[in-house]
């Protein structure tokens, strides 16, 4: 009994800890892109991401597309229909509000490009945080906070009036609160549960090395390629013995077509100073067994090949010599 208690005490924080980690890694983010090339044309497209996995898309004048078999989460078809209806009303109001705003404020001109990033993150204890940020022409201009729209720091002065107008729209404000406070965490919990198998998958990276000439004279750029890993967090560093090379340059993490990730880490070194350098990769799929690849430059490896060849020739030569000598011995014997 005592052992069981100990075991539970040992296991529970771990399982709980993993679940907490999972909640942290997977915010639900919805992106809205609205383009208004002129007063008579407009379109709004949407995307939803759970962490780094795209789950939904929503093209203008069409219904929501479910990109994963588990994209329905735990909502029924009926609930999705209701949600889609709310989103459609939101899209129509948004378009109308922008067109009204342009008429009111001569300072705003077509073409207009608006982006909205909205979503939520859930934490243990069933608490959630949410965000709703709006950018115009690529600049963050306002956020929805608590119950109303607020100006972003550094937003242009005309934003004040826009916010005043938006905040008089009680209906839209209530809808946004409902979507952020209740719908978003509900959808997120459902997706985490339904998509668990795919979200928990672990794919091991493979790594290889290459080099290119550096723009700096007499320098080489050593490149460590790491590919095929999932999930995204990864640690890649050039090292010399135990020492991490601070000047390691990490590229952007890029997507592979199969849903895994690719990253390259480069190190600029003086030609001839490559000896002892290695690329070290840590990833959750490797179970603490880091990948370590040692640099062996071209010349160095051709020496190795040369030495191996020389040894081989020597061995074969000696072998042949030995056979020849033994044969001769035999024939001497047979003569005798
Ligand atoms: C408005 O923009 C659309 C898309 O760029 C274009 O097809 C249309 O001709 C434009 N209309 C006017 C009145 O300029
Ligand atoms: C986007 O959809 C709306 C209807 O929701 C339509 O009126 C509009 O013309 C569409 N825009 C484009 C560029 O297709
Ligand atoms: C939504 O949450 C905010 C706090 O983030 C709170 O101020 C607001 O009253 C809530 N609204 C509703 C309708 O639950
Ligand atoms: C957690 O929150 C969600 C959505 O806010 C709610 O549907 C669910 O019942 C809550 N669960 C618990 C255990 O309180
Ligand atoms: C790397 O940076 C740390 C501090 O950030 C410093 O202590 C260490 O000496 C640096 N190592 C090299 C090789 O530059």
What's the pLDDT tens digit per position in 78-121?
999 999 999 998 899 889 888 988 988 888 889 999 999 999 99
Torsion angles phi and psi, residue 332, rounded to 5: -60, -45
Q: At what angle do helices 159-168 and 77-104 cross, to 10 degrees?
A: 130
| Ligand 2, atom nearest to 91 Cα | 5
The pLDDT tens digits for 279-333 are 999 999 998 999 999 998 544 444 444 455 555 656 556 565 555 555 555 444 4
Do 131 and 118 meet the contact criterion of CB atoms below 8 Å apart?
A: yes
Query: If we measure between CA atoms, which residue out of 129, 135, 171, 176 comes closest to residue 156?
Result: 135
Do 91 and 85 meet the contact criterion of CB atoms below 8 Å apart?
A: no
Give the pair of three-digit tokens for residue 75: 């909502």
| Ligand 3, atom nearest to 178 Cα | 13
Determine the residue of 186, 188, 190 to mutate for testing ligand 4's pocket, defined as the one with the most ligand atoms within 8 A of the Cβ atom: 186
**pLDDT at position 125:** 78
Please report which ligand is nearest the Cα atom of 240. Answer: 5
Do 233 and 284 meet the contact criterion of CB atoms below 8 Å apart?
A: yes
CA dihedral 127, 132, 138, 141 (to 10 degrees): -120
Around Cβ 32, how many Cβ atoms within 10 Å?
Answer: 19
Q: How many angstroms separate the alpha carbon of residue 189 from the centre of ligand 4? A: 9
Single pTM value for the model:
0.71
Higher pLDDT, 303 or 77: 77
């Amino acid at each position: 009994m005592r052992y069981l208690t100990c075991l539970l005490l040992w296991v529970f924080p771990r399982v709980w800890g993993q679940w907490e980690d999972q909640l942290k890694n997977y915010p639900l983010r919805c992106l809205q892109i609205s383009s208004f090339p002129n007063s008579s044309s407009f379109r709004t497209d949407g995307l939803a991401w759970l962490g780094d996995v795209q789950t939904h898309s929503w093209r203008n004048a069409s219904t929501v597309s479910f990109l994963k078999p588990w994209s329905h989460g735990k909502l029924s078809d009926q609930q999705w229909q209701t949600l889609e209806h709310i989103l459609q009303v939101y899209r129509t109001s948004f378009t109308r509000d922008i067109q009204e705003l342009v008429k009111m404020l001569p300072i705003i001109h077509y073409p207009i490009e608006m982006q909205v990033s909205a979503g939520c993150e859930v934490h243990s204890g069933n608490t959630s945080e949410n965000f709703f940020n709006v950018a115009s022409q690529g600049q963050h201009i306002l956020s929805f906070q608590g119950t109303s729209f607020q100006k972003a720091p550094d937003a242009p002065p005309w934003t004040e009036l826009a916010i005043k107008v938006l905040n008089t729209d009680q209906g839209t404000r209530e809808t946004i609160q409902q979507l952020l406070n209740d719908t978003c965490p509900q959808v997120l919990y459902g997706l985490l549960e339904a998509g668990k198998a795919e979200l928990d998958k672990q794919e091991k990276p493979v790594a290889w090395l290459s080099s290119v000439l550096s723009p700096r004279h007499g320098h080489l750029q050593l490149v460590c390629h790491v590919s095929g890993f999932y999930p995204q967090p990864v640690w890649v560093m050039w090292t010399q013995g135990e020492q991490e090379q601070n000047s390691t340059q990490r590229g952007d993490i890029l997507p592979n077509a199969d849903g895994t990730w690719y990253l390259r880490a480069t190190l600029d070194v003086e030609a001839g100073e490559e000896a002892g350098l290695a690329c070290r990769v840590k990833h959750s799929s490797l179970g603490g067994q880091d990948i370590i690849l040692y640099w062996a430059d071209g010349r160095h490896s051709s020496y190795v090949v040369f030495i191996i060849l020389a040894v081989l020739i020597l061995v074969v030569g000696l072998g042949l010599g030995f056979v020849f000598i033994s044969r001769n011995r035999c024939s001497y014997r047979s003569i005798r």
